[in-house]
Amino acid sequence: LNLPTISGLDLYRKMNEIDSLVGIPVIIMTAQSDRATVLEAIELGIAGFVVKPFDTDDLAAKVIKVLAQMSRN
């Protein structure tokens, strides 16, 4: 979530201001796991949240889940 010039959540907000980017699922990978950050991400509509260090199986499961949701829509 901590990029050099903007937070990941702020970047996601900006993405949603651009019509061609609205609805693109985003999985956030971060070292931040505090409740407030997770809840904010959920409220914004982030498709997945992975806390670093992460297990590759957990990441793969989240990607598969997002892709499955996309195929249903």
Residues 11-35: tens digit of each pLDDT = 999 999 999 999 899 999 988 889 9
Q: What is the pLDDT of residue 4?
A: 85
* Whether 36 contacts 17, CB under 8 Å: no
pLDDT at 12: 94
Rounded Cα distance between 69 and 19, Å, is: 20
Q: Name the DSSP letter for residue 25.
A: -
pLDDT at 33: 87
Give yes or no for residue 72 having a pLDDT over 90. Answer: no
Beta-ladder partners of 30? 51
